[in-house]
């Protein structure tokens, strides 16, 4: 069972029209909600999520306009600019290890295209929405020729087969929007009150692994390269993978990814969820929880029951491809805490 149909199955019978996606990430949930006709408010702290949400939820021109724009970008010539210098690698008989011992996320022929296309997007002086569509297309194209494990915290030693392919931009799969959707980019705790019938929260649960430094599990450090492509700010970099200095370990981490306990003995991540639910006034709250995360399920259950009626707990078993509705009981929770299951909790306040 996939997450999206599970969410839909829970939300559809509820009397809700507006859907707040508080940590929208890839925006796949926001996109689904928009396609289902909900009035969507999509928020995430990261630049790349705002760009995706803007292009999928706010695009306002005929599709032909965007395909012309993308064709134009595909015709741009590449050159050795900042991205090639930092992130482009040469092929040494299949090895991606460069003469300085470092590995790179893309082959140079594609970072040259990236350099040319990113400059052209800036030169075109597009509207915010059109630029978002162009950048979305660029990110998707780069993603399809990368040589990583899906994020930019390490690069492969041997070039991936796809990294040899020439990067070609495609028009993103844009769908028609019936509502005037809203895209926000802020820390969830700075947003103030968001009016919505249901709030869906999928915060970035940290790792269970106490030995893993928090920076390794942070979204900002996983996806630092998307940030640099969007901002086009040629930031100062550090470390083997060339991370932006503003994703350094010393920069405060998201409270949801905190793996430590506070002075009261409670996980800081659970305290963050408590604060989040306290500030949310939507009638329904749907919380995603992955049990590989730090917030233990029984602590989480205490928080939820203190705010209202937990109407549903759904466990998604990715292996068996099933979604099981669970009875809400502490015993069950204790018995069922297996690593890396995904749960959905529906709370009615
Ligand atoms: C688990 S992901 C969400 C995934 C999303 N549901 C999806 O389907 O792609 C968590 C997201 O929370 C964002 N985030 C982290 N801290 C945040 C904060 N304080 N406020 C808002 N968003 C935050 C991250 O940028 C990341 O995209």
Q: Ligand 1 centroid vs 123 CA: distance in angstroms?
A: 31
Atom of ligand 1 nearest to the CA of 187: 20
Query: For 226-260, what is each residue's pLDDT tens digit?
Result: 999 999 999 999 999 999 998 886 665 678 877 77
What is the C-alpha separation between 306 and 304, in angstroms, rounded? 5
The whole-chain average pLDDT of the chain stands at 88
What is the C-alpha separation between 254 and 295, in angstroms, rounded? 14
Q: What pLDDT was estimated at residue 120? A: 98
Closest protein CA for atom 19 of ligand 1: 187
> What pLDDT band is residue 343 in, cutting at 50, 70 and 90?
confident
* 120: containing domain: 60-173+219-252
Under a CB-based contact definition with an 8 Å cutoff, are residues 47 and 230 in contact?
A: yes
What is the C-alpha separation between 83 and 233, in angstroms, rounded? 11
Look at the alpha carbons of 49, 50, 51, 57 in this order and tell me if their dihedral is positive or negative: positive
Query: Does residue 243 belong to any structural domain of this protein?
Result: yes
Query: Does residue 109 belong to any structural domain of this protein?
Result: yes
Average pLDDT over residues 310-334: 65
Under a CB-based contact definition with an 8 Å cutoff, are residues 345 and 305 in contact?
A: no
> What pLDDT band is residue 56 in, cutting at 50, 70 and 90?
very high
Atom of ligand 1 nearest to the CA of 254: 16
Query: Does residue 160 belong to any structural domain of this protein?
Result: yes
- Evaluate: CB of 227 within 6 angstroms of ligand 1: no
3-state secondary structure of 325: strand
Question: pTM of the full predicted structure?
Answer: 0.92
Q: What pLDDT was estimated at residue 297? A: 74
Domains in the chain, number: 1
Residue from 145, 171, 144 nearest 61 by CA: 171
Tokens encoding 30? 């926001």
Give the percent of the chain with pLDDT over 90: 69
Q: What pLDDT was estimated at residue 328? A: 53
Farthest CA pair distance, the chain = 62
- Evaluate: CB of 42 within 6 angstroms of ligand 1: no
Query: Does residue 342 belong to any structural domain of this protein?
Result: no
Query: Does residue 70 belong to any structural domain of this protein?
Result: yes
- Evaluate: CB of 223 within 6 angstroms of ligand 1: no
Query: For 167-203, what is each residue's pLDDT tens digit?
Result: 999 999 999 887 789 999 999 999 988 999 999 999 9
Query: Does residue 140 belong to any structural domain of this protein?
Result: yes
Under a CB-based contact definition with an 8 Å cutoff, are residues 197 and 15 in contact?
A: yes
Query: Does residue 97 belong to any structural domain of this protein?
Result: yes
Tokens encoding 282? 């939507």
Query: Does residue 224 belong to any structural domain of this protein?
Result: yes
Is 326 or 226 the better-scoring residue by pLDDT? 226
- Evaluate: CB of 29 within 6 angstroms of ligand 1: yes
Query: For 15-38, what is each residue's pLDDT tens digit?
Result: 999 999 999 999 999 999 999 999
What is the C-alpha separation between 178 and 107, in angstroms, rounded? 41
């Amino acid at each position: 069972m996939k997450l999206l149909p599970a969410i839909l199955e829970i939300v559809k019978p509820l009397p809700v029209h507006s859907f707040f996606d508080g940590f929208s990430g890839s925006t796949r949930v926001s996109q689904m909600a928009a396609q289902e006709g909900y009035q969507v408010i999509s928020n995430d702290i990261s630049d790349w999520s705002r760009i995706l949400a803007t292009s999928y939820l706010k695009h306002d021109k005929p599709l032909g306009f965007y395909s012309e724009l993308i064709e134009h970008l595909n015709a741009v010539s590449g050159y050795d600019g900042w991205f090639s210098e930092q992130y482009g690698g040469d092929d040494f008989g299949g090895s991606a290890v460069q003469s300085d011992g470092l590995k790179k996320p893309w082959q140079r022929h594609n970072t040259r295209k990236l350099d040319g296309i990113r400059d052209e997007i800036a030169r075109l002086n597009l509207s915010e929405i059109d630029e978002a569509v162009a950048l979305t297309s660029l990110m998707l194209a780069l993603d399809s020729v990368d040589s990583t494990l899906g994020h930019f915290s390490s690069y492969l030693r041997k070039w991936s087969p796809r990294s040899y392919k020439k990067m070609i931009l495609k028009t993103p799969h844009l769908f028609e929007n019936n509502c005037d959707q809203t895209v926000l980019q802020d820390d969830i705790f700075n947003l103030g009150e968001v009016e919505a019938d249901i709030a869906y929260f999928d915060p970035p649960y940290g790792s269970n692994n106490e030995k893993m430094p928090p920076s390794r599990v942070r979204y900002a450090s996983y996806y630092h390269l998307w940030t640099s492509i969007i901002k086009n700010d040629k930031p100062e970099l550090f470390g083997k993978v060339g991370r932006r200095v503003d994703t350094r370990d010393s920069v405060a981490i998201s409270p949801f990814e905190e793996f430590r306990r506070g002075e009261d003995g409670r996980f800081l991540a659970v305290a963050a969820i408590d604060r989040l639910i306290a500030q949310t006034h939507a009638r329904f709250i749907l919380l995603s929880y992955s049990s590989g995360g730090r917030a233990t399920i029984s602590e989480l259950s205490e928080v939820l029951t203190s705010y209202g009626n937990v109407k549903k707990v759904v466990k998604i078993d990715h292996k068996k491809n099933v979604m099981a509705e669970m009875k809400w009981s502490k015993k069950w929770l204790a018995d069922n805490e297996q690593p890396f299951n995904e749960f959905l909790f529906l709370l009615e306040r």
